[in-house]
């Protein structure tokens, strides 16, 4: 421990660090709840409108309020690839190969981008959940060391003198655990949401590929 710093300053810094961790945790949790709820709503609305369309050309011209969300962005990537591949007429390397495989690759690339967006913030939750107890323990150790110095300086070892400072030092560990619990629970919950929404996107990619090539003549027209 640096001797040019007061122990109380380091302990207070530990508690403020845990406070920052807690604010960051709940900020991410509330944002991810909104994000996943919004994605689910937009995916359901787009899916309903997409399958009500007469063909891919009709699905491509859905109203903008229904064409916002992970599934719609994947569909737009598919529409763009189909349009560009027809215009390129296999004159570029990226269009050489089996069309179904090339389109699938384009859709999977967009799906990976959507997954990365859904996973944003989860690393922060995992880091806070794993480090907060140790930060709290660090504050407790320093607090106990500080308490021992004060007890030694006072020359008294009575329970009233010992229990108070040590009890205050243990608060840091309790706070560290309290910060870690919602971070870990939030991480596990949102990781499950990512897996569920990814499964939905994978199903949509498979359906889009089937429709695109069963209706290929309509798309080219």
pLDDT of residue 92: 65
pLDDT tens per residue across all 221 residues of the chain: 444 556 667 777 888 999 999 999 999 999 999 999 999 999 999 988 888 887 777 888 877 666 688 999 999 999 888 888 767 665 666 667 777 888 889 899 999 999 999 999 999 999 999 999 999 888 888 878 777 777 677 666 665 655 666 776 788 889 999 999 999 999 999 999 999 999 999 999 999 988 887 755 444 44
Would you mind telling me the total number of residues written for the chain in this entry? 221
Residue 26: count of CB within 10 angstroms of its CB: 14
Q: What's the pLDDT score for residue 83?
A: 82
Q: What is the pLDDT of residue 69?
A: 87
What's the whole-model pTM score?
Answer: 0.81
DSSP letter string over 6-21? -HHHHHHHHHHHHHHH
How far is Cα 23 from Cα 28, in angstroms, rounded to an integer?
9
What confidence score (pLDDT) does residue 218 get?
A: 47
Domain ranges of the chain: 7-132+178-220
pLDDT on residue 94: 67
- pLDDT score at 93: 67
Interaxial angle between packed helices 70-88 and 7-52, expressed in degrees from 0 to 180 and rounded to the nearest 10: 60
Alpha carbon 169 to its chain centroid, in Å, reads: 34
Phi, psi of 200 (to 5 degrees): -65, -40
């Amino acid at each position: 421990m640096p001797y040019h710093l007061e122990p109380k300053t380091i302990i207070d810094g530990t508690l403020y660090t845990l406070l920052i961790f807690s604010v960051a945790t709940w900020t991410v949790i509330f944002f991810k709840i909104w994000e996943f709820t919004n994605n689910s709503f937009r995916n359901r609305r787009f899916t309903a409108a997409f399958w009500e369309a007469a063909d891919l050309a009709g699905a491509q011209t859905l109203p903008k309020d229904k064409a916002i969300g992970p599934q719609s962005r994947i569909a737009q990537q598919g529409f763009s690839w189909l349009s560009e591949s027809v215009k390129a007429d296999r004159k570029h390397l990226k269009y050489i190969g089996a069309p179904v495989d090339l389109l699938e690759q384009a859709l999977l690339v967009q799906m990976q981008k959507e997954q990365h967006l859904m996973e944003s913030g989860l690393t922060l939750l995992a880091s806070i959940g794993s480090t907060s107890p140790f930060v709290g323990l660090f504050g407790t150790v320093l607090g106990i060391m500080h308490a021992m110095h004060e007890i030694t300086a006072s020359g008294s070892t009575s329970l009233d003198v010992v229990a108070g400072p040590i009890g205050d030092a243990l608060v840091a560990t309790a706070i560290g655990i309290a910060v870690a619990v919602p971070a870990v629970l939030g991480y596990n919950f949102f990781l499950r949401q990512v897996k569920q929404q990814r499964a939905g996107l994978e199903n949509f990619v498979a359906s889009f590929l089937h429709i695109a090539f069963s209706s290929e003549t309509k798309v080219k027209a």
